[in-house]
Structure 1
Amino acid sequence: MTAAETADEATTVEEQGEFLIVTGMSGAGRTTAANALEDLGWYVVDNLPPQILRPLLDLTGMGGANLPKVAAVVDVRGRNLFDDFPGVARALRSRGSGVKVLFLDASDDVLVRRFESVRRPHPLQGDGTLLDGIRTERSRLAMVREAADLVIDTSSLNIHQLATQVTEMFSEEGAARHRLTLLSFGFKYGLPTDVDLVADMRFLPNPFWNDELRGLTGQDDQVRDYVLSRDGAQEFLDAYAAALVPVLEGYQRENKSHSTVAIGCTGGKHRSVAMAEELGRRLGQIPGVAVNIRHRDLGRE
């Protein structure tokens, strides 16, 4: 290989970013792991024949920053094609340190129970029993498991616990594990439909009846100061923010990656906007939570 070719190869590897091969026993949780990676922003390709891994790696290099993290799910559904996996994996690893293999495993009795619960045959079962298929697969994957960079035994994990473990393993340091949307709205335009919690700000005096504030919004200093200084405003913010802390921490533990809290007032212009902005400032300090604030009805007449 010439120096120029070596440089081109190094450039490709550097541009690839991370390339993860997800494999393991059928029923051990590959789909759950793939979904968790997708929620983290990975580009996930499922049921990929091993021979396509090299071209996919080349495509990720061409994509550059557009495909910084790619996960390919490879399993025995590829039938005979899967026999080539160990050699393909070794070849891919030789091209850069960004290529890793995650192997998901579980005990035979757990896998049997999982297949029986969904009433589906094992892909290698044929005319035999579930256990026959599992043992055949385990034998075929023995070398793959041994060579894997990461192994997760899911025998004692439910789908939420597995997703949480994958999220913890592959989240960037400091990355948000839960994205909270605070949505201000006006009750007179109807309740938002896709929300988890709703809070009503109509217990506070309405700035609409103040001639100096009517034409302004909750994003203006005058309105914000007015709303936050009313009796009960700070008490509500203190109590509601404190109540949401264990909720948001629990969402992270249960791998619920998104939630929406709606904050309403009559027209969605003054009180709900000011309170949503202040609540967002407070909740944004919770570790692992990223806050997005939207004002649904702010532009309405």
Structure 2
Amino acid sequence: MVSQSAKRVLLVTGLSGAGKSTAIKTLEDVGWETIDNFPLRLVERLLKTPPSSSRENNDPPLALGFDSRTRGFNPDTLIGRIKKLQESENFLISTLFLDCAGGEIERRYAETRRRHPLAQDRPAAEGIAMERSQLEPFRRWADHVIDTTGLSANALEKEVRQQFELEGSGTTTVTITSFGFSRGLPNNIDLLFDVRFLANPFWEPELKLMTGLDAPVAEYIAKDPSYHEALTKIEDLLKFLLPKYQAAGKAYVNIGIGCTGGRHRSVHVAETLSKNLRKARFSPTVSHRNLTSRPMDALESMSQNSASKIDENKGI
């Protein structure tokens, strides 16, 4: 019987060119501790490192990548050693084998202009056949087999995530940043929403020195006829897109909400969107880049003048 504190270990192998490197990288992205091309003579010593006895100190599961190029590679010997380790209560060991049709592997090596590791001075097909024969014991023994013949790198990544993603590891980090266009765009914005069409509290003397965090400013902005419909549409778009980004494995999504000075409209809209997204079980972090910036008539007027010139050019 396997202990509840048993360390989870995934052995990742397969044909050269079948996508092992992509699989290892994806496993690392979803929370596994990964080691590629680890010397096989040290595997038993590594796995026998005592796992944590405290369930509060959860060690990440371990993924070990190897193939026919790994030093000391001998499928029968290695399988025998692993079978003995599986009898221990300290390990939960499984194997992922990445397979691929020979013709597709030849095409991939031809595109990258690399030589197959077992066919340095012979046709690639011979090296592929030799490696397939060497790895056949692992393919028969593997718990998970992914055939990558018809898969792109992105499709393989998605497949690995679906099968091996750890609980909570695939959550996309969402950041909502309010800012002022007059003070420049923030870096690394994925989705940008311009809310300068809303009524501007800056030109109301009693609201000018307040910010979008103050109730009077929020009430003023919410009276704009376009406010509720615009926020509903933005919110619906985000609720649609964020799960798509998460399914695609995007680790971070940065949302920018911009107004002119970055102190009123963008701040209020960012706060409102974050509250509504939390109700929808997202967990956005909110950042107000220009909240403490000094209010400046020149910046707000510059934006107004630019808008007026655009209107004049349109003949309005």
Aligned to 1:98, which of 66, 85, 92?
Answer: 92
**Rounded Cα–Cα distance in structure 2 between residues aligned with 1:54 and 1:171:** 25
- Structure 1 residues 216 and 89: CA distance shift in structure 2, 3 A: farther
> In structure 1, what is the equivalent of residue 191 of structure 2?
197
Q: Which amino acid aligns with 2:33?
A: Y
Contact kept, 8 Å, 1:178 with 1:290, in 2: the verdict is: no
Q: Does the 8 Å CA contact 2:182/2:260 hold for their aligned counterparts? A: yes
Residues 133 and 238 of structure 1: CA distance in aligned 2, closer, same or farther (over 3 Å): same
How many residue pairs match? The answer is 290
Larger of the two Rg values belongs to structure: 2
TM-score w.r.t. the length of structure 2 is: 0.78
Cα separation, partners in 2 of 1:274 and 1:89, compared to 1, 3 Å: farther
| 1:39 and 2:29 correspond | yes
Say whether residues 1:292 and 2:285 are aligned partners: yes
Change (3 A) 1:80 1:19: closer
- Greater shift, 124-133 or 205-214, is seen at 205-214
What's the offset of the Cα at 1:205?
2.5
Displacement of 1:114 in angstroms is: 1.1
What residue in structure 2 maps to residue 183 of structure 1? 177
What is the distance in 2 between the residues matched to 1:60 and 1:270?
Answer: 56
Q: Aligned partners of 1:176, 1:231: CA distance in 2, in Å?
A: 39
Contact 1:75/1:82, CA 8 A, preserved across alignment:
no
- The residue number in structure 1 matching 2:308 is none
Residue of structure 1 in register with 2:237 after alignment = 243
Provide closer, same or farther for how the CA distance between residues 14 and 232 of structure 1 changes in structure 2, counting only shifts above 3 A: same
Alignment RMSD (CA, Å): 3.0
Counterpart in the other structure of 1:3: none
Q: Which runs of 5+ in 1 are unaligned?
A: 1-8
Alignment of 1:48-63 (within 5 A): 48-59=38-49, 61=51
Contact 2:179 2:288 in 1 (8 A): yes
> Percent of pairs identical after alignment?
37
1:70 aligns with 2:71: no
Indicate yes or no: 2:5 matched with 1:14.
Answer: yes
2:147 matches 1:153 = yes
2:82 equivalent among 89, 97, 101: 89
What are the ranges of 5 or more consecutive residues in structure 2 without an aligned counterpart?
295-316
Q: Distance in 1 between matches of 2:213 and 2:32?
A: 35
Residue 28 of structure 1 is matched in structure 2 by 18
Alignment CA distance shift 1:207-1:55 (3 Å):
farther
- CA shift, 1:262, in A, is 0.9
Distance in structure 2 (CA, Å) of the matches to 1:222 and 1:15: 57
Given the two structures, how large is their TM-score scaled by the length of structure 1? 0.82
Secondary structure of 1:160's counterpart equals: helix
Question: SS of 1:120's equivalent?
Answer: coil
Q: Which residue does the alignment assign to 2:299?
A: none
1-structure distance, mates of 2:6, 2:227: 51
In structure 2, distance between residues paired with 1:210 and 1:59: 68
Cα deviation, 1:186-216, whole Å, max 9, x if unaligned, reads 2233101211221112222333445555555
Question: CA–CA distance in 2 between the matches of 1:171 and 1:269?
Answer: 40
